[in-house]
Amino acid sequence: MRKVHPEFAYQSRELEGQIEGILGDPPDHKNYQRMVDALVGEYAQGGGIEDVNMLAFALVDQIEFNDPKGLLAEAEDYEFGDAARVFAMASCKGDEAAKMYAAIAESMPDLARQAIITAFLHKNPRRWDDDDQSLDQLSRNDDGDDVDDEDVASDDFAQMFDKDGD
């Protein structure tokens, strides 16, 4: 298991929610496919919404990953990374998807780098470890020593109102 940048973990969870939201309950695969096709078409023409999650949504069903270990290594840093290197680690199948892949490489390489890694993490959840940010986990090692007794005024607070300076 490898740790990934918390923003990539967040984006991967968001992508999951977006996919489930578009599919609906019961799943409407035709509606989902129409949405994906529309996004792929927009990005292939050099347009589209400049959003990591929307771009990852357009990529997730079209993309194939050639270097999983390399993509995991790139997932450690959200802001900075080599976009050309990430593009070389994946490819898209199909004419329209390949056209989209080339268009985003040219028009929005840094955003596309993040979207490619997000799609990879979404499709490979067992390869990486998400930090547990639940309240139970965050309070696990908290022994309460950082909480002051609320009934007693601290010396610093009491001296603020001491007119004599004693």
Q: With 80 as the cut, is the pLDDT of residue 54 above it?
A: yes
φ, ψ dihedrals at 79, nearest 5°? -75, -45
The predicted pLDDT at position 146 comes to 58
* Range in 4-8, 21-25, 130-134, 156-160 with the lowest mean pLDDT: 130-134
**Residue 73: Cβ-neighbour burial (10 angstroms; 0-12, 13-18, 19+):** middle
Which residue ranges make up each domain of the chain? Answer: 2-131
As a whole number, mean pLDDT of residues 83-90 equals 94
Contact present, 87 and 116 (Cβ < 8 Å):
yes
As a whole number, mean pLDDT of residues 80-95 equals 92
As a whole number, mean pLDDT of residues 29-45 equals 93
Which residue matches tokens 């069903």?
61
140 pLDDT band, cuts 50/70/90, is low
- Tally Cβ neighbours within 10 Å of residue 32: 17
pTM for this predicted structure:
0.76
Q: What is the pLDDT of residues 104-137, one digit of tens each?
A: 999 999 999 999 999 999 998 877 776 545 455 4
Contact present, 127 and 10 (Cβ < 8 Å):
no
